[in-house]
Amino acid sequence: MKFDAMVLGAGIVGTSVALQLQRRGLGVALIDRKAPGNETSLGNAGLIQREGVYPYALPRDFASLAHYARNRATDVRYHPMAMPRLAPFLVKYWQHSRADRHTKIARAYSTLIEHCVSEHRELIEAAGAQALLRKNGWMKAFRTGKAFDAAVAEAARWREEYGIDFDVLEGDALHRTEPFLSPVLRAAVRYSSSDSVSDPAGLVGAYAKLLEKLGGKVLVGDASTLEKGWRVRTELGDVQADVAVIAMGPWSGDVTTKLGYRLPLEVKRGYHMHYASKAGATLNQPVLDAEIGYMITPMVRGIRLTTGVELGLRDSPKTPVQLEAIEPLAREVFPLGERLDSEPWLGRRPCTPDMMPVIGPAPHHRNLWFAFGHAHHGLTLGPITGRLIAEAITGTPPAVNLTPFRAERF
| Contact assessment for residue 166 and residue 189, using Cβ atoms and an 8 Å cutoff | yes
SS3 139: strand
Structural domain boundaries of the chain?
A: 2-45+116-130+200-264+353-409
State the Cα–Cα distance between residues 152 and 146, nearest whole angstrom: 10
| Contact assessment for residue 235 and residue 34, using Cβ atoms and an 8 Å cutoff | no
- Per-residue pLDDT of 30-89, as tens digits, reads 999 999 999 999 999 999 999 999 999 999 999 999 999 999 999 999 999 999 999 999
SS3 213: helix
What percentage of the chain has pLDDT greater than the value 90?
99
| Distance from chain centroid for Cα 367 | 26
pLDDT of residue 284: 97
In this predicted structure, the answer to whether residue 276 has a pLDDT above a threshold of 90 is: yes
Its pTM stands at 0.97
State the Cα–Cα distance between residues 390 and 385, nearest whole angstrom: 8
State the Cα–Cα distance between residues 381 and 357, nearest whole angstrom: 9
- Of 94, 90, 59, 79, nearest to 269 by C-alpha is 79
- Per-residue pLDDT of 135-189, as tens digits, reads 999 999 999 999 999 999 999 999 999 999 999 999 999 999 999 999 999 999 9
State the Cα–Cα distance between residues 93 and 70, nearest whole angstrom: 20
| Contact assessment for residue 239 and residue 231, using Cβ atoms and an 8 Å cutoff | yes
pLDDT of residue 187: 98
State the Cα–Cα distance between residues 308 and 325, nearest whole angstrom: 11
CATH of domain 2-45+116-130+200-264+353-409: 3.50.50.60
pLDDT of residue 88: 97
- Per-residue pLDDT of 287-313, as tens digits, reads 999 999 999 999 999 999 999 999 999
Torsion of CA 241, 247, 251, 252, to 10 degrees: 70
Q: Tell me the HSE value of 243 on the side-chain side, using a 13 A CA sphere.
A: 24
Please give the sequence-ordered ranges of beta strands (E in DSSP) within 13-84, or none if there are none: 28-32, 47-48, 76-78
In this predicted structure, the answer to whether residue 264 has a pLDDT above a threshold of 90 is: yes
In this predicted structure, the answer to whether residue 279 has a pLDDT above a threshold of 90 is: no
Helix orientation angle between 12-23 and 378-393, rounded to the nearest 10 degrees = 30
List, in sequence order, the alpha helices (H) in 139-221: 145-162, 172-177, 200-213
Q: Return mean pLDDT, the chain.
A: 97
Please report the DSSP string for 88-124 in residue order.
HHHHHHHHHTSHHHHHHHHHHHHHHHTTHHHHHHHHH
